Structures are given as C-alpha cells and as structure tokens.
C-alpha cells in the first residue's frame, strides 16, 4: 500500500511527510521482513508520541485542527505505476479469487452474504468504496447479476488494479472496472448510482462522516448502501493504543471524536445524519477476532 491510512495519519497529521519517509526507508531497508518493520515502526511511535497524555493530545489536536487529505502529499512514483499495472492481470484476479474463497469458507463467512446483499436486483449501477486486497470486490463481482455494472474505487493504484485483475479473470471487463478515486471527492454526478458498498474500508478511512455525506450524494433516492465493518474497532487499534495505556473502553470515544470508524452503532448514527435509514443488520461472531457486521441502509 502506498498510503498509511486512518489512525497513523491522525496521530502524525502534523508530521505526515516525515512519517511516510520513515516508512519508505524502513520498507527499503527490510524488504520482506514484516516483523522487523513492525517493531521498528512501533519503536518510532513510542518515541515520538511518548506517553498516554501525548497520545490523547495528538488525537484531540487532530479532532480540532486535522482533516486534510494526505493523498495531496504523496505523489505517485514511476515504479508504483508499473507495480499497479501488474495487479491488473487475469493471473492476479485468479489469486484474489483463491484468497477470497479461502477466507469465505472460514472466518469471513459474511463475505458471500455481503455480495448477495449488494446484488439485490438486476441492472444495478454499483459503486464499491475501497478495493483494497479485493476480497469484497470478489464477493460482489462473482455474484454480479444480469445488466449490473460495478466500479470499484480506491486511492491506492496498487489496490484499484486488483479490481481490473478480477474483471479480467471473470471476463467482466465490459461491466466492471477499477477507478482511482478518493472517497471524499467521488467522480460521479448527484443521484447517479443505485448501490454503494464497502467491505471493511470505512474501518480504515479518515473523516468518515464526510465520506458518508459524499457517498449519499451520489446515491439515487431509494438507493442502498451495504456496509461491512468490524464490530469491535479495538481489534485493529489495540497495537497502536495499548502501548500508551489506552483501555479498550476508551477506544470508541477517541475514534469517534477524531471522525474515524467507531463501531457499527457509530457508523449507523453518522449514516442516519447523512440521510440513510437502517434496513437490515447481521452480526457475525466467529472465533476470529475480526468479527464483522453487514449493514444495509437506504437513502
Ligand atoms: C482494508 S482495505 C479494504 C479491504 C477490501 N475491501 C477487501 O475486502 O479486501 C481499505 C482500503 O481503503 C482505501 N482507502 C482508505 N481511505 C480512502 C479514501 N479516502 N479514498 C479512497 N480509498 C481509501 C485504502 O487505500 C485501502 O485500500
């Protein structure tokens, strides 16, 4: 991934360029050694943030003064473009399928239901927010109904081309594409789409209320938003919060204050403010800590 997202960007929003440079140097120094990179990044955060007070002060500073779009500071490099193109192949699409089918039979049993909820009728214009690794994209694309089209967006070209790989693998190039876009400025006209969906991407995005407003803008009246998100944000954030003595029951309030994913209740509340009503909610509590929920809302 080219961009760091959400909590790291929040904590380092005043030093974003330096933080990205640090991560790039780390990647170059220890390629293929995730544990070493993770430990070095943790040490960097501990050193820069310092204490529980420092952590909370940074969150509060962002809540009051943050919000700028980090993509403005991270231009694409030549090698990123070539790497992204490699993700657009049918071979990569087949690899995404294998990965998605592997988890859909195991801890991510919600994936098929997510795809089914999105494809609730024929002839739908569907927008996906956050291609990422393409697991949700696979779930939607593999169940695409007659006449429907799918545009999968991400601001990371490496991720967005996973959607093109899946389209090639499925022979769906005439009805499906990846599109480089920022959720905060979607390149669609008002009320132009039938369905918007996101699998696990609002968990890792910043400025979630603004994104929900923007997504609602492009949805037609009566259009649906299918949202799949972690039930418990602490699962993802504890590695950043625990070292500073933040307790699990403080997590949601801190995230909410900084306008980040703060559990299904927080998301549903923000969605209601954006003009979306709850149609359905299904919770999954597999053994795996990444328990998720699939929520269907309508404009
Ligand atoms: C966890 S991944 C999504 C997982 C993916 N849907 C899947 O099922 O494999 C989150 C993605 O959201 C993207 N993202 C986060 N904030 C964004 C924004 N404001 N605009 C566009 N993409 C964003 C990130 O680049 C990342 O690829």
CA of 151 to the centre of ligand 1 (A): 14
Residues 115 and 256 in one domain: yes
What residue owns the CA closest to ligand 1's atom 25?
Answer: 156
CA of 130 to the centre of ligand 1 (A): 4
- Probe residue for ligand 1, chosen from 1, 5, 208 as the CB with the greatest number of ligand atoms within 8 Å: 5
pLDDT for the residue 290: 63
What atom of ligand 1 comes closest to residue 138's alpha carbon?
A: 8
pLDDT for the residue 4: 57
Residues 42 and 112 in one domain: no
- Probe residue for ligand 1, chosen from 4, 155, 207, 260 as the CB with the greatest number of ligand atoms within 8 Å: 155
Last residue in a domain, options 59, 79, 99: 79
What atom of ligand 1 comes closest to residue 132's alpha carbon?
A: 27
Is 200 close to ligand 1, i.e. is its CB under 6 Å away?
yes
As a whole number of Å, the end-to-end CA separation of the chain is: 32
CA of 210 to the centre of ligand 1 (A): 15
| CATH code, domain with 94 | 3.40.50.150
pLDDT for the residue 180: 93
Residues 170 and 276 in one domain: yes
Residues 65 and 127 in one domain: no
User: What DSSP assignment string belongs to 214-282?
Assistant: HHHHHEEEEEEEEEEEES-THHHHHHHHGGGT--HHHHHHHHHHTTS--HHHHHHHHHHHHT-EEEEEE
pLDDT for the residue 77: 80
What atom of ligand 1 comes closest to residue 139's alpha carbon?
A: 8
CA of 202 to the centre of ligand 1 (A): 7
Q: Has residue 71 been placed in a domain?
A: yes
User: Closest by alpha carbon to 288, among 106, 136, 135?
Assistant: 106
For the segment 40-85, what is each residue's pLDDT rounded down to a tens digit? Answer: 989 999 999 999 999 999 999 999 999 877 665 567 788 888 999 9
pLDDT for the residue 1: 45
pTM value is 0.93
Is 184 close to ligand 1, i.e. is its CB under 6 Å away?
yes
Residues 115 and 169 in one domain: yes
Residues 204 and 237 in one domain: yes
Q: Has residue 85 been placed in a domain?
A: no
> Which residues constitute the domain of residue 98?
90-298
> Residues 171-188, buried b or exposed e (16+ Cβ, 10 A)?
ebeebbbbbbbbbbebeb
Is 204 close to ligand 1, i.e. is its CB under 6 Å away?
yes
Q: Has residue 1 been placed in a domain?
A: no
pLDDT for the residue 287: 58
Under-70 pLDDT residues of the chain: 1-5, 70-74, 286-291
What atom of ligand 1 comes closest to residue 183's alpha carbon?
A: 20
């Amino acid at each position: 991934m080219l961009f760091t997202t959400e909590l790291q960007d929040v904590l380092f929003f005043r030093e974003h360029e330096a933080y990205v440079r640090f991560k790039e140097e780390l990647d170059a120094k220890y390629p293929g050694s995730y544990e070493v990179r993770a430990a070095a990044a943790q040490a960097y955060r501990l050193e820069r943030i310092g204490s529980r007070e420092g952590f909370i002060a940074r969150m509060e500073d962002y809540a009051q003064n943050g919000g700028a779009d980090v993509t403005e500071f991270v231009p694409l490099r030549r090698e990123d473009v070539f790497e992204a193109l490699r993700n657009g192949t049918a071979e990569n699409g087949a690899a995404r399928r294998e990965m998605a089918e592997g988890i859909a039979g195991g801890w991510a049993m919600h994936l098929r239901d997510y795809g089914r909820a999105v494809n609730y009728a024929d002839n739908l214009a569907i927008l996906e927010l956050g291609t990422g690794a393409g697991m949700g994209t696979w779930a939607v694309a593999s169940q695409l109904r007659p006449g429907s089209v799918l545009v999968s967006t991400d601001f990371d070209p490496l991720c967005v081309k996973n959607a093109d790989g899946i389209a090639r693998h499925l022979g769906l190039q005439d009805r499906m594409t990846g599109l480089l876009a920022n959720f905060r400025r979607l390149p669609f006209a008002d009320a132009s789409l039938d369905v918007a969906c996101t699998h696990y991407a609002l968990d890792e995005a910043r400025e979630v209320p603004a994104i929900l407003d923007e997504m609602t803008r492009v949805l037609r009246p009566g259009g649906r938003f299918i949202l799949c998100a972690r039930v418990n944000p602490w699962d993802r954030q504890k590695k950043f919060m625990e070292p500073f003595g933040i307790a699990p029951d403080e997590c949601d309030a801190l995230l909410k204050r900084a306008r980040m994913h703060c559990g299904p209740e927080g998301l549903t509340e923000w969605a209601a403010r954006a003009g979306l009503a709850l149609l359905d909610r299904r919770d999954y509590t597999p053994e795996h800590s990444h328990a998720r929920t699939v929520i269907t809302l309508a404009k």
